[in-house]
Chains A and B, each alone.
Chain A
Amino acid sequence: MPNVTMTVNGKKMSGNVEPRTLLVEFLRETLGLTGTHVGCDTSQCGCCVVHVNGDGIKSCTILAVQCEGADVKTIEGVANGDELHPMQAAFREHHGLQCGYCTPGMVMSALDLVKHNKNPSEQQIREWLEGNLCRCTGYHNIVKAIKAGAEAMAKARP
């Protein structure tokens, strides 16, 4: 079995995988990072979004071996110790979740959005969430949370 090494949330991690092992399987089953969820397994729901070399991607649609040497960030790497990231804090403040299953993917996608667009409008947020399905909330509070989170991130920047 090939050995794969990547930086996950700032730490070098490695493990033996089959060529067909998906990144999300490596994260959850080999590394025990179960914050990244698998909702559909058909590349549609966005629950498994993580950042690979800074880009939001679906970790169920990339092989672990393709991430050799990559810099991977999962939801576990977003907070600063016990202090929530402003985007996470905004999700809590605005109740941007109900069951919480889609939330890790929502937060990772929201952070990818802010990378592309520091001050997104409501419409831009809704369009960005085309790849993230939530079956509870109707999206309203998620959109509010992302808007507030982006504003908080802008303020936090020097």
Chain B
Amino acid sequence: MYNFEYHKAKNVADASALITQKPEAKLVAGGMTLLPTLKQRLAKPSDLVDLNGLSELRGIKREGNAVAIGAMTRHVEVAESAEVKKAIPALAHLASHIGDPAVRNRGTLGGSISNNDPAADYPAAVVALNATVITNKRKIAADEFFQGMFETALQPGEIVTAVSFPIPEKAAYMKFPNPASRYAIVGVFVAKHKDGVRVAVTGAGPCVFRQKEMEAALAKNFSADAIKSIAQKQDGLNGDIHASPEYRAHLVGVMARRAVTAAG
């Protein structure tokens, strides 16, 4: 690992000021991606600004018809939260299958979505649940937040503080995990809202995306049968040693049907 200067942020404004002053600085949340990246010398930040210890960024609150989760809330806290299990069980289920227990004890919601790994689980939940990403500067709609591989709408100095997840009528997340890393080879989050259905796919492409053909079919008839004949196009999907684009396209259909069935 290359050396860097370490700063423990005193509050969000302090963290934002530090990363604004130092263009090569990086924020560290759970560090579950950043630290392995640094150890492999794939990144060389001048400074690390640590958000651990900012208790104002942690916690789970029911707010009207939504559940707001602080950016520094660990995966284990979401997985075990009685509030989340009651309001959006699919979200607790998703969190309980990220990585492994030691990763879930450190990894955070804000870190996961800000990194926007193409195979991360949380982006699928944020998009399918039509969540709002709250930062120290503004509110960003899920459809605008994820912009490409490891790319988000976050601007310099901008820090995710929380995510507000509207409570759907029903929802489920199904993933086909890589057996070693538990990252999604393909993961599909299906959510039925009062005003329509959203189907978000992670792992398959360079960035989470909505399967709008399935959304339209499920809005008319929320059943696995309704999407049986919809084939995901292979164009632009990821191909690597784990799965070809053809296989991933096939898995999108399988995981979507399983998710619809699981949602009930």
Contacts and interface: CB of A to CB of B under 8 A. Distances in A.
Interface of A: 2, 18-20, 22, 41-44, 46, 49, 55-58, 60-63, 65-66, 68, 109, 112-113, 116, 128, 130-132
B39 A55 contact: no
B129 interface: no
B174 to A, nearest CB: 16
Interface string B48-86: 101010000000000000000000000010001000000
Given A19-B4, A41-B39, A109-B101, A130 B32 contact: no
Contact of A128 (B80, B101, B106): B101
Contact of B50 (A20, A44, A66): A66
Nearest to A48: B102
Contact of B1 (A2, A20, A42, A44): A20
Interface in B81-138: 99-103, 105-106
Interface residues of B, number: 29
Contacts of A18: 3
A130 B106 contact: no
B180 interface: yes
B3 A20 contact: yes
A131 B5 contact: no
B45 to A, nearest CB: 11
Given A20-B2, A20-B4, A55-B105, A62 B100 contact: no
A130 B100 contact: yes
B35 A130 contact: no
B38 to A, nearest CB: 8
Interface string B8-40: 100000000000000000000001100110111
Nearest to A54: B105
A135 B52 CA distance: 34
